[in-house]
Amino acid sequence: MKTFTRRDFGWTLGKGITATALLGSTSLACGQSAKNENKKLGVALVGLGSYSTYQLAPSLQDTEHCYLAGIVTGTKEKEQVWQDKYGIPKENTYNYDNFDTIANNEDIDIVYVVLPNSMHADFSIRAAKAGKHVICEKPMAISVAECDAIIDACNKAGVKLSVGYRMQSDPYTKEVKKYVAEKTFGNVHFVSSDAGYISNGNPDQWRLNKELSGGGALMNMGVYSIQTSIYGCGSNPSSVSAQEFSTRPDYFKDTDETITAQFEFPNGAVAHMMTSHNANGNRLKSHCSNGWFELDPAHSYGPISGRTSNGNVISFPHQRQQALQMDDFAKHILMGTPNVAPGEMGKRDMIIVEAIYRSIAEGGKKQTLDLGNMGIVG
Protein backbone atom coordinates (compact mmCIF):
# COMPACT_ATOMS: atom_id res chain seq x y z
CA MET A 1 0.00 0.00 0.00
CA LYS A 2 1.19 3.51 -0.79
CA THR A 3 2.41 5.48 2.20
CA PHE A 4 0.36 8.62 2.78
CA THR A 5 1.35 11.67 4.76
CA ARG A 6 -0.87 14.31 6.31
CA ARG A 7 0.58 16.86 3.95
CA ASP A 8 -0.48 14.82 0.90
CA PHE A 9 -4.12 15.24 1.80
CA GLY A 10 -3.99 18.62 3.54
CA TRP A 11 -5.94 16.96 6.32
CA THR A 12 -6.33 19.09 9.44
CA LEU A 13 -5.20 16.90 11.33
CA GLY A 14 8.57 6.43 27.24
CA LYS A 15 9.91 6.24 28.78
CA GLY A 16 7.53 7.93 31.24
CA ILE A 17 7.26 7.04 34.87
CA THR A 18 6.28 3.42 35.33
CA ALA A 19 4.68 2.25 38.56
CA THR A 20 6.15 -1.09 39.59
CA ALA A 21 5.25 -3.39 42.42
CA LEU A 22 8.36 -3.77 44.54
CA LEU A 23 8.38 -7.34 45.75
CA GLY A 24 8.98 -7.79 49.44
CA SER A 25 8.46 -4.11 50.24
CA THR A 26 4.76 -3.28 50.46
CA SER A 27 5.35 -0.03 52.28
CA LEU A 28 7.85 1.09 49.65
CA ALA A 29 5.44 0.20 46.84
CA CYS A 30 2.65 2.15 48.51
CA GLY A 31 4.98 5.07 49.07
CA GLN A 32 6.03 5.05 45.43
CA SER A 33 2.38 4.96 44.34
CA ALA A 34 1.52 7.86 46.62
CA LYS A 35 4.50 9.81 45.29
CA ASN A 36 3.43 9.22 41.68
CA GLU A 37 -0.09 10.41 42.43
CA ASN A 38 1.31 13.92 42.52
CA LYS A 39 3.01 13.65 39.13
CA LYS A 40 1.49 14.74 35.83
CA LEU A 41 2.57 13.13 32.58
CA GLY A 42 3.13 15.21 29.46
CA VAL A 43 1.00 14.30 26.43
CA ALA A 44 1.86 15.16 22.82
CA LEU A 45 -1.01 15.11 20.32
CA VAL A 46 -0.03 13.81 16.89
CA GLY A 47 -2.44 15.42 14.44
CA LEU A 48 -4.40 18.59 15.16
CA GLY A 49 -7.67 17.83 13.38
CA SER A 50 -11.14 18.36 14.78
CA TYR A 51 -10.92 15.63 17.43
CA SER A 52 -7.69 17.01 18.89
CA THR A 53 -8.92 20.58 18.55
CA TYR A 54 -12.40 20.26 20.03
CA GLN A 55 -12.16 17.21 22.30
CA LEU A 56 -8.67 16.13 23.34
CA ALA A 57 -6.96 19.49 23.89
CA PRO A 58 -9.86 20.95 25.91
CA SER A 59 -10.10 17.69 27.89
CA LEU A 60 -6.41 17.93 28.78
CA GLN A 61 -7.28 21.15 30.62
CA ASP A 62 -9.49 19.06 32.95
CA THR A 63 -7.17 16.11 33.61
CA GLU A 64 -5.53 15.46 36.98
CA HIS A 65 -2.68 13.14 36.03
CA CYS A 66 -1.59 14.37 32.60
CA TYR A 67 -1.40 17.60 30.63
CA LEU A 68 -0.90 18.90 27.09
CA ALA A 69 2.86 19.15 26.71
CA GLY A 70 3.47 19.02 22.96
CA ILE A 71 2.02 18.90 19.47
CA VAL A 72 2.90 17.26 16.17
CA THR A 73 1.41 18.79 13.04
CA GLY A 74 2.05 18.99 9.33
CA THR A 75 0.39 22.41 9.11
CA LYS A 76 2.92 25.15 9.85
CA GLU A 77 0.20 27.76 10.43
CA LYS A 78 -1.18 25.82 13.38
CA GLU A 79 2.04 25.78 15.36
CA GLN A 80 1.90 29.37 16.65
CA VAL A 81 -1.85 29.20 17.25
CA TRP A 82 -1.53 26.18 19.51
CA GLN A 83 1.61 27.48 21.20
CA ASP A 84 -0.17 30.70 22.11
CA LYS A 85 -3.44 29.07 23.16
CA TYR A 86 -1.97 26.32 25.35
CA GLY A 87 1.44 27.70 26.32
CA ILE A 88 3.32 24.99 24.43
CA PRO A 89 7.06 25.68 24.15
CA LYS A 90 8.55 25.86 20.68
CA GLU A 91 10.88 23.00 21.55
CA ASN A 92 7.81 20.79 22.21
CA THR A 93 6.41 21.45 18.73
CA TYR A 94 7.15 18.87 16.04
CA ASN A 95 6.26 18.08 12.45
CA TYR A 96 6.14 14.74 10.66
CA ASP A 97 9.72 15.06 9.40
CA ASN A 98 11.36 15.59 12.80
CA PHE A 99 8.87 13.54 14.86
CA ASP A 100 11.41 10.88 15.82
CA THR A 101 13.51 13.44 17.70
CA ILE A 102 10.73 13.49 20.30
CA ALA A 103 12.77 10.70 21.90
CA ASN A 104 15.05 13.40 23.33
CA ASN A 105 12.23 15.38 24.98
CA GLU A 106 11.80 14.57 28.66
CA ASP A 107 8.69 16.76 28.88
CA ILE A 108 6.72 14.28 26.80
CA ASP A 109 5.76 10.94 28.33
CA ILE A 110 2.76 9.94 26.21
CA VAL A 111 2.19 10.25 22.47
CA TYR A 112 -1.47 10.25 21.39
CA VAL A 113 -1.80 9.29 17.71
CA VAL A 114 -4.82 11.08 16.23
CA LEU A 115 -4.26 10.50 12.50
CA PRO A 116 -6.15 8.77 9.67
CA ASN A 117 -6.48 5.05 10.39
CA SER A 118 -3.87 3.94 7.84
CA MET A 119 -1.25 6.01 9.68
CA HIS A 120 -1.90 4.63 13.18
CA ALA A 121 0.57 1.77 12.99
CA ASP A 122 3.43 3.86 11.59
CA PHE A 123 3.28 6.62 14.19
CA SER A 124 2.43 4.32 17.11
CA ILE A 125 5.47 2.17 16.34
CA ARG A 126 7.68 5.24 15.90
CA ALA A 127 6.43 6.65 19.21
CA ALA A 128 7.22 3.37 20.96
CA LYS A 129 10.71 3.29 19.47
CA ALA A 130 11.16 6.83 20.79
CA GLY A 131 10.49 5.46 24.28
CA LYS A 132 7.08 7.09 24.70
CA HIS A 133 3.92 5.49 26.02
CA VAL A 134 1.26 5.30 23.31
CA ILE A 135 -2.42 6.07 23.00
CA CYS A 136 -3.63 5.05 19.54
CA GLU A 137 -6.98 6.45 18.50
CA LYS A 138 -9.64 3.93 17.50
CA PRO A 139 -9.72 1.83 15.43
CA MET A 140 -6.30 0.67 16.48
CA ALA A 141 -5.20 -0.06 12.90
CA ILE A 142 -6.54 -1.21 9.54
CA SER A 143 -5.62 -4.87 10.02
CA VAL A 144 -4.91 -7.44 12.70
CA ALA A 145 -1.35 -7.68 11.41
CA GLU A 146 -0.85 -3.96 12.09
CA CYS A 147 -2.29 -4.36 15.58
CA ASP A 148 0.25 -7.11 16.25
CA ALA A 149 3.05 -4.88 14.99
CA ILE A 150 2.04 -2.05 17.34
CA ILE A 151 1.75 -4.37 20.34
CA ASP A 152 5.11 -5.96 19.55
CA ALA A 153 6.83 -2.57 19.20
CA CYS A 154 5.48 -1.37 22.54
CA ASN A 155 6.48 -4.60 24.28
CA LYS A 156 10.00 -4.43 22.86
CA ALA A 157 10.36 -0.79 23.90
CA GLY A 158 8.94 -1.43 27.37
CA VAL A 159 6.23 1.22 27.00
CA LYS A 160 2.52 1.10 27.77
CA LEU A 161 -0.15 1.01 25.05
CA SER A 162 -3.79 2.05 25.10
CA VAL A 163 -6.50 2.45 22.45
CA GLY A 164 -8.64 5.60 22.38
CA TYR A 165 -11.81 3.90 23.61
CA ARG A 166 -13.22 6.81 25.62
CA MET A 167 -16.39 4.88 26.49
CA GLN A 168 -14.37 2.40 28.55
CA SER A 169 -13.77 5.19 31.10
CA ASP A 170 -17.34 6.49 31.09
CA PRO A 171 -19.35 5.81 34.29
CA TYR A 172 -22.38 4.68 32.26
CA THR A 173 -20.30 1.93 30.66
CA LYS A 174 -19.05 0.87 34.09
CA GLU A 175 -22.65 0.73 35.35
CA VAL A 176 -23.69 -1.48 32.44
CA LYS A 177 -20.76 -3.81 33.11
CA LYS A 178 -21.82 -3.95 36.76
CA TYR A 179 -25.40 -4.93 35.84
CA VAL A 180 -24.06 -7.74 33.66
CA ALA A 181 -21.48 -9.02 36.15
CA GLU A 182 -23.86 -8.96 39.12
CA LYS A 183 -26.81 -10.23 37.07
CA THR A 184 -28.93 -7.36 38.38
CA PHE A 185 -31.60 -8.21 35.80
CA GLY A 186 -30.73 -11.87 35.42
CA ASN A 187 -28.88 -13.49 32.54
CA VAL A 188 -28.48 -11.47 29.35
CA HIS A 189 -30.35 -13.07 26.43
CA PHE A 190 -30.26 -10.45 23.65
CA VAL A 191 -28.30 -7.25 23.03
CA SER A 192 -29.09 -4.59 20.45
CA SER A 193 -26.56 -1.88 19.59
CA ASP A 194 -26.69 0.91 17.01
CA ALA A 195 -23.96 3.43 16.21
CA GLY A 196 -24.18 5.69 13.19
CA TYR A 197 -24.70 9.15 11.78
CA ILE A 198 -25.66 10.71 8.44
CA SER A 199 -22.64 11.95 6.51
CA ASN A 200 -23.35 14.84 4.18
CA GLY A 201 -19.89 16.37 4.20
CA ASN A 202 -17.09 16.59 1.70
CA PRO A 203 -17.12 13.41 -0.45
CA ASP A 204 -13.32 13.68 -0.60
CA GLN A 205 -12.86 13.49 3.18
CA TRP A 206 -10.39 10.89 4.35
CA ARG A 207 -13.05 8.74 6.05
CA LEU A 208 -14.52 8.02 2.59
CA ASN A 209 -11.10 7.09 1.19
CA LYS A 210 -10.51 3.40 1.81
CA GLU A 211 -6.73 3.67 1.53
CA LEU A 212 -6.74 6.13 4.43
CA SER A 213 -9.63 4.77 6.50
CA GLY A 214 -9.36 1.03 5.87
CA GLY A 215 -13.16 0.89 5.59
CA GLY A 216 -16.28 2.93 6.13
CA ALA A 217 -18.91 2.98 8.86
CA LEU A 218 -17.66 -0.27 10.38
CA MET A 219 -14.14 1.08 10.93
CA ASN A 220 -15.46 4.37 12.31
CA MET A 221 -18.69 3.96 14.29
CA GLY A 222 -18.87 0.18 14.08
CA VAL A 223 -16.27 -0.37 16.77
CA TYR A 224 -18.69 1.25 19.24
CA SER A 225 -21.40 -1.25 18.30
CA ILE A 226 -18.93 -4.10 18.61
CA GLN A 227 -17.82 -2.90 22.03
CA THR A 228 -21.32 -2.35 23.40
CA SER A 229 -22.46 -5.73 22.09
CA ILE A 230 -19.63 -7.30 24.09
CA TYR A 231 -19.92 -5.44 27.39
CA GLY A 232 -23.71 -5.43 27.09
CA CYS A 233 -23.49 -9.24 27.15
CA GLY A 234 -20.39 -9.78 29.26
CA SER A 235 -18.38 -12.10 27.04
CA ASN A 236 -16.60 -12.23 23.71
CA PRO A 237 -18.66 -13.55 20.77
CA SER A 238 -18.05 -16.99 19.35
CA SER A 239 -19.36 -16.25 15.85
CA VAL A 240 -20.61 -13.45 13.62
CA SER A 241 -22.52 -13.10 10.37
CA ALA A 242 -23.01 -9.79 8.57
CA GLN A 243 -24.71 -7.89 5.77
CA GLU A 244 -23.92 -4.65 3.94
CA PHE A 245 -26.40 -2.17 2.46
CA SER A 246 -25.90 0.83 0.19
CA THR A 247 -28.52 3.44 -0.71
CA ARG A 248 -26.13 6.22 -1.83
CA PRO A 249 -23.51 4.51 -4.01
CA ASP A 250 -22.77 7.82 -5.72
CA TYR A 251 -21.52 9.23 -2.40
CA PHE A 252 -20.14 6.09 -0.72
CA LYS A 253 -18.07 5.02 -3.70
CA ASP A 254 -15.14 3.50 -1.84
CA THR A 255 -16.35 2.59 1.64
CA ASP A 256 -19.22 0.75 3.34
CA GLU A 257 -22.33 2.82 4.11
CA THR A 258 -24.39 0.60 6.41
CA ILE A 259 -23.55 -2.76 7.98
CA THR A 260 -25.58 -5.04 10.22
CA ALA A 261 -24.16 -8.05 12.05
CA GLN A 262 -25.36 -10.79 14.36
CA PHE A 263 -23.24 -12.27 17.14
CA GLU A 264 -23.57 -15.53 19.01
CA PHE A 265 -21.99 -15.87 22.45
CA PRO A 266 -20.75 -18.97 24.31
CA ASN A 267 -23.39 -18.49 27.02
CA GLY A 268 -26.22 -18.73 24.47
CA ALA A 269 -26.91 -15.00 24.21
CA VAL A 270 -27.20 -13.28 20.83
CA ALA A 271 -26.68 -9.70 19.71
CA HIS A 272 -27.57 -7.54 16.73
CA MET A 273 -25.56 -4.47 15.75
CA MET A 274 -26.03 -1.75 13.16
CA THR A 275 -23.53 0.84 12.08
CA SER A 276 -23.92 3.45 9.39
CA HIS A 277 -22.66 6.62 7.75
CA ASN A 278 -26.17 7.21 6.41
CA ALA A 279 -28.46 6.53 9.39
CA ASN A 280 -28.49 7.84 12.94
CA GLY A 281 -27.98 5.29 15.69
CA ASN A 282 -26.87 5.77 19.29
CA ARG A 283 -28.32 3.06 21.50
CA LEU A 284 -27.55 -0.02 23.58
CA LYS A 285 -30.22 -2.27 25.05
CA SER A 286 -29.71 -5.54 26.90
CA HIS A 287 -32.72 -7.84 27.36
CA CYS A 288 -32.33 -10.15 30.34
CA SER A 289 -34.22 -12.97 32.04
CA ASN A 290 -35.62 -10.61 34.69
CA GLY A 291 -35.82 -7.26 32.89
CA TRP A 292 -33.74 -4.96 30.74
CA PHE A 293 -31.46 -1.94 30.78
CA GLU A 294 -30.55 0.54 28.08
CA LEU A 295 -28.44 3.57 27.24
CA ASP A 296 -29.92 6.04 24.79
CA PRO A 297 -27.84 7.94 23.79
CA ALA A 298 -25.08 5.42 24.35
CA HIS A 299 -21.99 6.45 22.38
CA SER A 300 -21.95 10.24 22.08
CA TYR A 301 -19.65 12.64 23.92
CA GLY A 302 -22.38 13.19 26.47
CA PRO A 303 -24.39 13.59 28.39
CA ILE A 304 -25.39 9.93 28.16
CA SER A 305 -28.78 8.78 29.38
CA GLY A 306 -30.00 5.41 30.63
CA ARG A 307 -32.97 3.62 32.15
CA THR A 308 -33.98 0.18 33.39
CA SER A 309 -37.06 -2.02 33.43
CA ASN A 310 -37.63 -1.33 37.13
CA GLY A 311 -38.16 2.35 36.41
CA ASN A 312 -34.76 3.60 37.50
CA VAL A 313 -32.94 6.29 35.57
CA ILE A 314 -29.21 5.74 35.05
CA SER A 315 -27.62 9.12 35.66
CA PHE A 316 -24.15 10.44 36.49
CA PRO A 317 -22.69 13.96 36.54
CA HIS A 318 -21.38 14.79 33.10
CA GLN A 319 -17.61 14.66 32.68
CA ARG A 320 -15.48 14.83 29.56
CA GLN A 321 -14.98 11.20 28.54
CA GLN A 322 -11.63 12.01 26.95
CA ALA A 323 -10.36 13.50 30.21
CA LEU A 324 -11.41 10.38 32.10
CA GLN A 325 -9.82 8.20 29.42
CA MET A 326 -6.45 9.97 29.44
CA ASP A 327 -6.37 10.13 33.23
CA ASP A 328 -7.09 6.40 33.40
CA PHE A 329 -4.09 5.70 31.17
CA ALA A 330 -1.86 8.09 33.12
CA LYS A 331 -2.85 6.37 36.38
CA HIS A 332 -2.06 3.01 34.78
CA ILE A 333 1.45 4.26 34.03
CA LEU A 334 2.00 6.07 37.32
CA MET A 335 0.24 3.82 39.81
CA GLY A 336 -0.17 0.46 38.14
CA THR A 337 -3.96 0.62 37.96
CA PRO A 338 -5.63 -1.58 35.31
CA ASN A 339 -5.29 -0.57 31.66
CA VAL A 340 -8.98 -0.22 30.75
CA ALA A 341 -8.33 -0.20 26.97
CA PRO A 342 -5.13 -2.16 26.22
CA GLY A 343 -3.80 -2.90 22.77
CA GLU A 344 -5.15 -6.45 22.98
CA MET A 345 -8.67 -4.99 23.09
CA GLY A 346 -8.02 -3.07 19.88
CA LYS A 347 -6.67 -6.23 18.26
CA ARG A 348 -9.70 -8.24 19.37
CA ASP A 349 -12.04 -5.73 17.78
CA MET A 350 -10.04 -5.76 14.55
CA ILE A 351 -10.31 -9.57 14.48
CA ILE A 352 -14.08 -9.10 14.64
CA VAL A 353 -14.02 -6.35 11.99
CA GLU A 354 -12.10 -8.59 9.60
CA ALA A 355 -14.56 -11.44 10.26
CA ILE A 356 -17.51 -9.12 9.50
CA TYR A 357 -16.00 -8.04 6.19
CA ARG A 358 -15.22 -11.67 5.39
CA SER A 359 -18.82 -12.70 6.13
CA ILE A 360 -20.14 -9.98 3.81
CA ALA A 361 -17.76 -11.09 1.05
CA GLU A 362 -19.06 -14.66 1.48
CA GLY A 363 -22.73 -13.69 1.26
CA GLY A 364 -23.41 -13.48 4.98
CA LYS A 365 -21.78 -16.78 5.89
CA LYS A 366 -21.26 -17.28 9.63
CA GLN A 367 -17.66 -16.77 10.74
CA THR A 368 -16.28 -18.57 13.78
CA LEU A 369 -14.40 -16.34 16.21
CA ASP A 370 -11.64 -17.81 18.36
CA LEU A 371 -11.29 -15.14 21.03
CA GLY A 372 -11.11 -17.34 24.07
CA ASN A 373 -7.35 -16.84 24.46
CA MET A 374 -7.44 -13.06 24.13
CA GLY A 375 -7.83 -12.46 27.85
CA ILE A 376 -9.92 -9.35 27.09
CA VAL A 377 -13.66 -9.00 27.75
CA GLY A 378 -15.65 -5.82 27.97
Cα separations (Å) of 374 from 139, 148, 296? 17, 13, 30
The number of angstroms, rounded, from the C-alpha of 130 to the middle of its chain's C-alpha atoms is: 22
3-state secondary structure of 323: helix
- Candidates 185, 171, 188; CA nearest to 310 is 185
Give the helix ranges, DSSP H, for the chain: 6-9, 26-36, 50-51, 57-59, 76-86, 120-129, 144-157, 171-182, 210-213, 217-220, 222-231, 321-335, 343-361
- 215 sits in the region (left: phi over 0; alpha: psi -120 to 50; else beta) called left
For residue 224, indicate whether it is catalytic.
yes
For residue 138, indicate whether it is catalytic.
yes
Cα separations (Å) of 55 from 179, 228, 322, 351? 29, 22, 7, 28
Q: Which backbone phi and psi does 194 adopt, to 5 degrees?
A: -125, 135
Torsion over CA: 334, 227, 193, 259 (sign)? positive
Amino acid 275 reads T
Annotated catalytic residue within 165, 224, 231, 357: 224
Annotated catalytic residue within 138, 160, 285, 347: 138
- Alpha carbons 218 and 116: distance in angstroms, whole number: 15
The set of residues, in sequence order, having a beta carbon less than 8 Å from that of 83 and lying 6+ positions away, is 89, 90, 93
Dmax over Cα atoms in the chain, in whole Å?
66
Cα separations (Å) of 143 from 23, 146, 269, 349? 38, 5, 28, 10
Active-site positions read 138, 224
